[in-house]
Amino acid sequence: AQTVTQSQPEMSVQEAETVTLSCTYDTSENNYYLFWYKQPPSRQMILVIRQEAYKQQNATENRFSVNFQKAAKSFSLKISDSQLGDTAMYFCAFMKPYTGNQFYFGTGTSLTVIP
C-alpha cells in the first residue's frame, strides 16, 4: 500500500517570502504521479502542481515549484513570493496510474500567509 506523509501540520510565512512544504511517500512502484493540491476555506480541491516520477526535471508552475527526490521518496513544494491568497490547506498526493487512478493523500499542511 502507498502511504503519504506530511510532517508539518501547520506553517506560516510572511507575505512575499518563500516557504517549503514537505512530503514523503512510500511505494514500491517505479511509475507513478505526485501532486500538490490546495484546499482553501471553500473546500474546493485545486490542483497546484503535478510531477511524473519518470521525469527527472522538477515541475514548476509560476510561483510554485517542487523538489522531487525519487530515491529519497521526497516531494516538497516551494511557494515563492507568498500571497495572502495562498492561505489554505495543502495536500500532497500519490497516484499509481492504470489502477483506476486512485489517489492517496497526505494528512495536509495548513499554511497561513501573514500580511
Interface residue list for another protein (CB under 8 A) = 33, 35, 42-45, 47, 50, 91, 93, 95, 100-108, 110
State in angstroms the smallest separation of the CB of 57 from another protein.
19
State in angstroms the smallest separation of the CB of 29 from another protein.
16
State in angstroms the smallest separation of the CB of 24 from another protein.
15
Return the C-alpha cell found at 31: 511509475
What per-residue string of b and e applies to 42-59 under the rule 16 or more CB within 10 Å gives b?
eeeeeebbebebeeeeeb
Instruction: Determine the 3-state secondary structure of 7 from DSSP.
Output: coil
Length of the chain: 115
In the complex with another protein, the residue whose CB is nearer, 5 or 83, is 5
